[in-house]
Amino acid sequence: MGKGKPFLEVLSSAIHEDYRFPFLELFAFLYALGTFVFASFGGIITATGTTNEAIAYSTTSSIIGASMFVFVILVFKNVAYGLGGDLEKGIIQTYFSYPLKRSGILTAKLLSAIGVALLLFLGIQISALYILAPDIVLPQLSTVFITYAATLSSALLIAGIMLLVTLGLRRGGITLVVGIILYAAMGIITSIAMVVSFATKSPLALQIISVISPSMALQQHYGGMSDIFSSVWAPTLSEVILYIGASYVIVASLFVLGYIYFSRRLNL
């Protein structure tokens, strides 16, 4: 048996478990519905005097919101119940008997849990952007890419933390609760950072939060917040890219830790 076959075997089994009929269809329906129903171009009507990049950013971020919530729920479910459930039931132990490295098993599980969800999310979102506003999006593909990169990093960060918690606890239910709490906490911390920055007239709190949630820096860059916050901090595009880069370094570190733990320390 070649190396590819057991990997595909684990991947197809993971996809089968994570996206049982009609879960995939339900989430695809919610992605599409959330993308179109919650798209709002109302805020950009005043943006005719601003740059094309700002309009593209505003358009893209307006359609991400609701679908991002659906994406987060799907990823959390897959990581917590998919991986956590397999650890609990001993299915991972069975996979260890396959002629496949442990890292390969984790890659297959993560490709199913996050990769397929991300593919579906981006596929529907980008198609929707093309349907709704092709003339805004096509000339500004780099802005659209940066907006998605900035928005997705915090969700992937929590997914990375959930992966570590799942591997540590080896249980799905608690991990799902941890993920939901972290997701809610991220919103609360962001609000607190804004209040602190406003009160102290210092951008430090906003800068710190931007390392884990670079969409904040991007929003500041394009003036998506009120003028009060813009006067406190207005990062340049290169600074925003640095924040995005830093956040992905943290995300990558979490996943690398997960791989190291899964490959070397996980005893079942």
Q: Which residues bind other proteins (CB under 8 A)?
A: 12, 19, 21-22, 24-26, 28-33, 36-37, 39-42, 44-45, 47-48, 55, 59, 120, 124, 131-136
CB of 60: closest distance to other proteins in angstroms? 13
CB of 81: closest distance to other proteins in angstroms? 19
Residue with tokens 């994570």: 18
Peptide bond into 22 cis (omega under 30): yes
From CA 197, how far away is CA 229, in angstroms rounded?
A: 8
Q: Compute the Cα dihedral for 30, 31, 35, 36 and give only its sign.
A: negative
CB of 34: closest distance to other proteins in angstroms? 9
127/200 with CB nearer other proteins: 127
Query: If 0-12 CB within 10 Å is exposed, 13-18 middle and 19+ buried, where does residue 90 land?
Result: exposed
Phi, psi at 22, each rounded to 5° = -110, 35
* Greatest extent of the chain over all pairs of C-alpha atoms, in Å: 64
Nearest 10 degrees: Cα torsion 111, 257, 150, 65? 60
44/83 with CB nearer other proteins: 44
66/180 with CB nearer other proteins: 66
Helices of type H across 100-203: 102-110, 116-132, 134-137, 141-169, 172-200
CB of 57: closest distance to other proteins in angstroms? 12
CB of 217: closest distance to other proteins in angstroms? 24
CB of 136: closest distance to other proteins in angstroms? 5
36/183 with CB nearer other proteins: 36
100/211 with CB nearer other proteins: 100
From CA 210, how far away is CA 54, in angstroms rounded?
A: 19
37/177 with CB nearer other proteins: 37
37/256 with CB nearer other proteins: 37
CB distance 160 to 68 below 8 Å? no
CB of 183: closest distance to other proteins in angstroms? 24
